[in-house]
A and B are shown apart, each in its own frame.
Chain A
Amino acid sequence: MSIPSNLKYVATHEWVRTEDDGTITIGITQHAQELLGDMVFVEAPAVGRKIKAKEEVAVVESVKAAADVYAPVSGEVIAANSELDSAPEKINSEPYDAWIFKLKPDNAADVAALLDAEAYQAVVDSEAH
């Protein structure tokens, strides 16, 4: 199970990458895409939208389910990945490349407080029945 150690995570299965300029890039994990199945559609948030941590920000739709993607921290949406409009399946094939949206976080400290790879592994393990 791929859980890159250079990323941060949220218990709701989002991964977070901090960029050099302090903004963050968000997608969903390998574990999440496996559970959801073949992706068919992504509803990304509007650029400029101000969001609070844990707020539903995007929706990913697979052949069998539709799942909410949550904001890992409070901030402003600065970009949405338009590639996913025509190729949502990239989330299945390259979950850590196929980012969904980018945020300018209100507080860098919020990002540091997110789960590391080990903590996220524990979350995944606890979900396995």
Chain B
Amino acid sequence: MPFIPHTEADIAAMLASIGAPGIDALFDEIPAALRCGKLTRVPEGMNEMQVTRLLGERAALDQPLLNFIGAGAYEHHIPAAVWQIATRGEFYTAYTPYQAEASQGTLQVLYEYQTMMASLTGMDVSNASLYDGASGLAEAILMAVRAHKTSRKVLMPETVSPIYRSVVQSIVQLQDIELIGIPFDKSTGTIDIQALEQFDGKDIAALVVPQPNFFGALENVDILTDWAHAQNALTIALVNPLSLALLKAPGHWGTQGADITVGEGQPLGAPLSSGGPYFGFMCCKQGLVRQMPGRIIGRTVDLDGKIGYTLTLQAREQHIRRAKATSNICSNQGLMVTAATIHMALLGADGLRRVAAASHANTAALTVLAAGLHGVKPAFHGPHFHEVVLQLDKPVLPVLAKMKAKGVLGGYNLTECYPQLGNAVLVCATETKTGADLQSFVDALRGALD
């Protein structure tokens, strides 16, 4: 359905029809004391020419830097066709699909998206997306606590992104849920399995298992999943969707598979864009579907037996269940998942595998080159996906500043969030980097350490 704005004549006719003197009169119910009146501190609006000039000047301040920062948002090549198609009016300004008969296109794309995510994660069901990976993890924890029914304790490894842990804390802290930190093994950078032993036989609602973890390291997902299930706890898989092209799908972890899988969908076709918009994905086992928040698209048949798509299981959502809804979320990231679906369709399983493999190979090559420098050593041994933690013999921030002056964004500083690692930096090399780029990184790092 195209969007056609109203003309002044349309507006006047509607006002006349309902007998209202003007648009302002429609807001009469709001007490005068609550209306904001004149916004004296907001400057006058600019015209299109002025705005174009201003933003052009600001854009010129952006320097093209060689980016080796990962830490939750990854630079990948997005085929030009993805956003060409996603910016078509039918996708770009599609309205929320509550009226199924007017939204079959949108609903079908979302259904395809759900199908791809369920397939990629090896889970039974997917929802139509959440806002981002961090809030998705919070929703997964709330969902696990609801499903578990007796325990409100969740085990949160310190190998989960500190940003995600902070967001989760904000969201669950007023809901009487206890997040218990689990330390990591300093030689492998993975969850310290022995630290879990104190929780054997205890009443725990869930264990969060990141894969790969914030350090890029691969966790022992089978052992962790089976351990959680042995305590009658749920396993929440927190995964990078691109890595699933190479790694075992969460639905196949351990003997029973993960119960809920969430993560950040940005690597699948969303540009970095200074932090967003991105999207969170969530999948679960069939038995948990009524506890899953967010929109779910279902496929059904109409009165003539023809296939159609619709929002389903809506009784979970707040427009029906109000305070008892599974979540206050009543939206999804429709445009971002449209782009992700096109991205995945264009790349296919094989294309995703090659992107993941190239990213892994580039980071492995970078690690070898960097480790050859005096004053640099990898923090952990063991398998990694496409990120590595390097420990330096000098403080990280000045090193990064010198590298930036040479046109290289060297990585994400870990010194504050993981003081036990000393001068540590998290570095990522995706498929976008060439051999020459890796050499530029090494040269810039060597120069910064001199």
Q: How many residues of B contact A (CB 8 A)?
A: 6
Contact B320 A41 (CB under 8 A): no
Contact A65 B290 (CB under 8 A): no
Contact A66 B321 (CB under 8 A): yes
The answer, yes or no, to whether A38 is at the interface (CB within 8 Å) is no
Contact B320 A66 (CB under 8 A): yes
Q: How many residues of A contact B (CB 8 A)?
A: 10
The answer, yes or no, to whether A116 is at the interface (CB within 8 Å) is no
- Which residues of chain A are within 8 angstroms of B321 by Cβ–Cβ distance? 66
The answer, yes or no, to whether B65 is at the interface (CB within 8 Å) is no
Bitwise interface map of B from 317 to 339 toward A, beta carbon under 8 Å scored 1, else 0:
00011001000000000000000
Bitwise interface map of A from 37 to 61 toward B, beta carbon under 8 Å scored 1, else 0:
0001101001000000000000001
B151 CB, nearest partner CB in chain A, Å = 15
Bitwise interface map of A from 12 to 55 toward B, beta carbon under 8 Å scored 1, else 0:
00000000000000000000000000001101001000000000
A55 CB, nearest partner CB in chain B, Å = 14
B296 CB, nearest partner CB in chain A, Å = 14
Instruction: Name the one of A43, A46, A65, A68 contacting B320, with C-beta atoms under 8 angstroms.
Output: A65
Q: How far is the CA of A65 from the CA of B321 in the complex (A)?
A: 8
Q: How far is the CA of A82 from the CA of B84 in the complex (A)?
A: 52
Contact residues, A44-91 vs B (CB, 8 A) = 46, 61-62, 64-66, 68
- Which residues of chain A are within 8 angstroms of B149 by Cβ–Cβ distance? 46
Which A residue sits closest to B149, measured CB to CB?
A46
Q: How far is the CA of A62 from the CA of B313 in the complex (A)?
A: 10
A77 CB, nearest partner CB in chain B, Å = 14
The answer, yes or no, to whether B401 is at the interface (CB within 8 Å) is no
The answer, yes or no, to whether B315 is at the interface (CB within 8 Å) is yes
A45 CB, nearest partner CB in chain B, Å = 11
Bitwise interface map of B from 143 to 166 toward A, beta carbon under 8 Å scored 1, else 0:
000000100000000000000000
Which B residue sits closest to A68, measured CB to CB?
B324
Which B residue sits closest to A64, measured CB to CB?
B320
Which B residue sits closest to A43, measured CB to CB?
B290
- Which residues of chain A are within 8 angstroms of B324 by Cβ–Cβ distance? 66, 68
Q: How far is the CA of A68 from the CA of B315 in the complex (A)?
A: 12
| 7 shortest interchain CB distances as A-B pairs | A66-B315, A61-B315, A66-B321, A66-B320, A65-B320, A65-B315, A41-B290
Other A-B contacts than A40-B315, A65-B315, A66-B324, 12 sampled, CB-CB below 8 A, are A41-B290, A41-B315, A43-B290, A46-B149, A61-B315, A62-B315, A64-B320, A65-B320, A66-B315, A66-B320, A66-B321, A68-B324
Q: Can you spell out 13 A-B residue pairs with CB atoms less than 8 angstroms apart? A: A40-B315, A41-B290, A43-B290, A46-B149, A61-B315, A62-B315, A64-B320, A65-B315, A65-B320, A66-B320, A66-B321, A66-B324, A68-B324
